[in-house]
Amino acid sequence: MKLLSPKHLPYFGAIVQAILFAIAGNEYFPVAGWLVGLGVGAVVNYSIALASSRINDIAKNRKPLAFLALALLFCLSPVIICSTLGWTMATFSWSVACDLSIILAGSISGKSLLPAEAPQKSAPAKQAKTKSARTSFVCRNAGAGCEKAFASQNAANAHGRTCKFKPTISMPIEITQEIKR
């Protein structure tokens, strides 16, 4: 596993932003403020990283709410950091740069901007000899002698229920049990 994989970049950005929240929490809360700030920063920025990398997986009717929450979190984190550490261009730029890097890296490593790698399909156990190039599903009883191939998995499943080549037990199993008295 590569440490600097593109899939890990949003989470590295979330860690950096959580540290900025810890510094802000230390300034705002006198006792264990860094712990409060780190916790809030971790939750907020992990949410941003997760949302930016999986925005296409959200149901269609919940997407507007997800975009609204993402935009509000994006606007709220620089306000929290800048109001605690001072409204300078440096603190604003640092907080916005972290959020932008989380969103950009999440959208690149997720399904938003780049297509994900397609899972490799396993080949059927035995390809049937047919003239059609479209058929790719063979009967599940191919090992028992059925040579039929189908264009869809549904057709192969429907045939499998009534296939006359269903394997059966060729030799009866003898079961004996000794009874001790």
pLDDT band, very low/low/confident/very high, at 172 (cuts 50, 70, 90) = low
| Of residues 99, 80, 92, the one with CA closest to residue 37 | 80
Q: 40-44, 94-98, 125-129, 162-166: which range is least confident on average?
A: 125-129
The tens digit of pLDDT for each residue in 117-157 reads 555 555 554 544 444 455 578 887 776 778 788 888 888 88
Q: What percent of the chain has pLDDT over 90?
A: 0
Q: With contact defined as beta carbons under 8 Å apart, do 163 and 128 qualify?
A: no
Task: State pTM to two decimals.
Answer: 0.50
Cα 22 to Cα 84: distance, rounded to the nearest angstrom: 11
* Whether the predicted pLDDT of 30 surpasses 70: yes
Token digits of residue 68: 């609204």
Residues in the chain: 181
Cα 90 to Cα 85: distance, rounded to the nearest angstrom: 10
Q: Which residue has the tokens 């989380």?
A: 102
12 CB-side CA count, 13 A:
11
Q: C-alpha angle 132/133/137, rounded to 5°?
A: 90
By DSSP bridging, strand 149-150 and strand 137-138 are antiparallel
Helix extents (H) in the chain: 9-28, 33-53, 63-85, 89-109, 153-162
Cα 24 to Cα 65: distance, rounded to the nearest angstrom: 28
Q: Largest Cα–Cα distance of the chain, in whole Å? A: 93
Domain 121-167 class, CATH top level: alpha beta
Going by C-beta distance under 8 Å and a sequence separation of 6 or more, which residues neighbour residue 166? 141, 144
